[in-house]
């Protein structure tokens, strides 16, 4: 059986994914990306973006914290206690980046047929990828329509509530552009917040990953479906702003009922696991 390595952030959805994968198929190593201190982030933002950018960053983090607090009930609905801390039986290494020497050493020690599952807002480069025989990424967004970061928020800003979901795809040079193996749509309620929606996406994506990994280990790997990147947008962190964040928080406070009643566009084709084609 191929060793399974998870590269994850430290958020509840990422931690819950590792725990559930470990119980279902076994995780041989969890590489958890260390979060920089608040002071380090503020200094870095001040150097790169100046006082105005620093003000935006502080306001955004405060808004995100309030959003997380509002979304706590929804998050617990989808993740329960699984997102609080890693299970005791999961081998863990805390690293600063995917190419951290300790990460490369630990993965190399597992052998050359490693399966890598990523659930993090970092780009993974060759030093780690070349050690892995197979790579999968859990992406909060329905690719190719929404790729990159803040995909749930961008879909809400567009009123595109029928096309919020999760994608499991192979890692590729293009951001969230690898062949798609499986997708699932979110089921939204009028009172949902971004935090609650993203928790649902982590839970749905984890279910897909378990099914995919079990199929692979049974000798029935699903076929990846290439993406047409021209059909969607790619968003980067640099595109996000305090102004956009305020819009999203206003949508959360007002509720999603109006958008759910009159979505901006219908549900677009996705790749379903059972058939492995567009549906």
Whether residue 56 has pLDDT greater than 70: no
Residue 211 C-alpha from the chain's centroid: 18
Tell me which CATH homologous superfamily contains domain 4-261.
Answer: Formyl transferase, N-terminal domain (3.40.50.170)
d(CA 157, CA 251): 8
pTM: 0.88
Give 65's pLDDT tier (boundaries 50, 70, 90). Answer: low
**DSSP one-letter code for 32:** E
Between the CA of residue 227 and those of 139, 156, 200, 271, 277, what are the distances in Å? 14, 23, 24, 10, 12
Average pLDDT over residues 86-94: 97
Per-residue pLDDT reduced to its tens digit, 247-276:
999 999 999 999 999 999 999 999 998 744
The larger pLDDT score, comparing residue 9 to residue 274, is at: 9
CA gap 103, 71 in Å, rounded:
33
């Amino acid at each position: 059986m191929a060793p399974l390595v998870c590269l994850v952030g430290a958020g509840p959805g990422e931690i819950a994914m590792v725990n559930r994968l470990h119980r279902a198929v076994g995780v041989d190593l969890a590489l958890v990306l260390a979060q920089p201190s608040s002071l380090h982030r503020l200094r870095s933002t001040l150097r790169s973006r100046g006082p105005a950018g620093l003000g935006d960053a502080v306001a955004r983090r405060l808004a995100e914290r309030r959003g997380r607090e509002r979304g706590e009930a929804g998050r617990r609905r989808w993740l329960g206690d699984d997102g609080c801390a890693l299970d005791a039986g999961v081998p863990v290494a805390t690293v600063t980046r995917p190419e951290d020497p300790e990460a490369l050493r630990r993965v190399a020690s597992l052998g050359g047929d490693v399966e890598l599952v990523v659930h993090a807002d970092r780009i993974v480069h060759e030093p780690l990828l070349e050690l892995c025989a197979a790579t999968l990424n859990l992406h909060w967004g329905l690719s190719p329509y929404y790729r990159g970061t803040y995909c749930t928020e961008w879909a809400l800003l567009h009123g595109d509530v029928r096309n919020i979901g999760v994608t499991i795809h192979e890692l590729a040079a293009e951001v969230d552009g690898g062949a798609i193996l499986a997708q699932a749509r979110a089921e939204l309620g009028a009172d949902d917040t971004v935090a609650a929606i993203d928790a649902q996406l982590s839970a749905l994506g984890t279910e897909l990953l378990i099914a995919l990994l079990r199929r692979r280990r049974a000798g029935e790997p699903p076929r990846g479906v290439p993406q047409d990147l021209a059909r969607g947008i790619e968003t980067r962190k640099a595109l996000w702003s305090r102004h956009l964040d305020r819009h999203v928080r206003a949508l959360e406070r007002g509720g999603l009922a109006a958008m759910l009643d009159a979505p901006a566009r219908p549900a677009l084709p996705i790749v379903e696991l059972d058939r492995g084609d567009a549906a």
